[in-house]
Amino acid sequence: MRFKIGAKVRVKNVYSGGNFDDGDVVTIKQIGNEDESDCYGAISPYDGLMWYLNEDEVEAMCDFCSKWDWGEASAAVNNGKFAHIYFISGASRFPVHKQFMYCPVCGAMNPNRIGEKESRE
Ligand SMILES: [Zn+2]
């Protein structure tokens, strides 16, 4: 197993039936279960329950977004036509709802925003 408990990983190519989507960023809570020793347990952002992921359904977040401070930049359109990227200066930080949704390099979801995704069955 490549990852340890507590590691943040990006979900990809889900096929084993866990309640995850490609691009979700989850924290590994458990390794193995009573049926299988070589899987990871993580909490679904959709139902709050523990689901299992195989080794080939998770990957490391890219170097960029594992180090990126998601609160330091935001995208905005002014007057309905001028698109900008804003960076914080000094004391303030962008609230979560103004932060980028996804890593611009690898497409992983901003871990701060996962709770915003609509809940589903
Ligand atoms: Zn990334």
pLDDT band at residue 66, thresholds of 50, 70 and 90?
A: confident
Residue 72: what pLDDT? 92
pLDDT above 80: residue 118: no
| CA separation, residue 11 to residues 31, 66, 75, 101 (Å) | 16, 14, 25, 16
> Which residues lie near ion ligand 1 (Cβ < 5 Å)?
62, 64-65, 103, 105-106, 108
What's the pTM? 0.66
Q: For residue 76, what pLDDT is reported? A: 87
Distance 112 CA to ligand 1 centre (A): 14
Mean per-residue pLDDT of the chain? 89
Would you state the pLDDT for residue 100?
92
Whole-number pLDDT of residue 121: 46
